[in-house]
Structure 1
Amino acid sequence: MDISAFDPFTLIMIGLTVFLVVYLLTSTFLTKKREPPKKKLVTVLTCLNCTYIEKRNYKEGDYVGKTVGECPKCEGNMLIKAIYSEIEQPKT
């Protein structure tokens, strides 16, 4: 079968189909897979007597409302006010 037997529209459609398949395959395999951002848990401690606030890494057993130690400013009780996750910033 001679290629001149096909009409121009059919040749264009075959060419576009081949181009589209090649494009989709290369874009699928060559794109870099994105890693989900790393998250870390943060615990916020507040003093019951003064306005002192401290952020630290989450420790196993932390919960909101738990009393944890003394305030470094006034020696009052420190209370866990919040626990949340933060997205770690990439190191540059």
Structure 2
Amino acid sequence: MSSQQQKEQLTVITEIKCRTCDYTTTRPFTEGDFVLKEVGSCSKDGGTLYIAGIYAVSPVKENK
């Protein structure tokens, strides 16, 4: 197996949470994202949304 085949394409995800309720969502990472950055208001209760985490996920491979 070549080194090209061993490398996986990773997707970077930004996790967003509300400071006052249990609302959580994720979206693709965008340049300028950082943990604890405030990113808007919660549609559920009007609380402040912030970036709670940024992480990479690898695509799921099907075993045939």
Q: Distance in 2 between matches of 1:60 and 1:41?
A: 11
- Percent identity, please: 30
The alignment status of 1:49 with 2:20, answered yes or no, reads yes
Q: Name the structure where helix makes up a greater proportion of residues.
A: 1
SS of corresponding position for 1:89: coil
Largest Rg, 1 or 2 = 1
SS of corresponding position for 1:37: coil
Q: Name the structure where strand makes up a greater proportion of residues.
A: 2
| TM-score, with structure 1 as normaliser | 0.59
Q: Which moved more, 1:69-78 or 1:57-66?
A: 69-78
2:10 maps to which residue? 39
Q: Distance in 2 between matches of 1:87 and 1:65?
A: 24
SS of corresponding position for 1:83: strand
Q: Deviations over 1:14-60 (max 9, x none)?
A: xxxxxxxxxxxxxxxxxx53241110111010000101011110011
Listed as ranges, the gaps of 5+ residues in structure 2 are: none
- 1:75 Cα deviation from its structure 2 partner: 1.6
More relative contact order, 1 or 2 (CA 8 Å, 6+ apart): 2
CA RMSD between the two structures: 1.5
Instruction: Give every structure 1 segment of 4 or more consecutive aligned residues whose post-TM-superposition deviation is greater than 6 Å.
Output: none
| TM-score, with structure 2 as normaliser | 0.82
What is the aligned residue count? 60
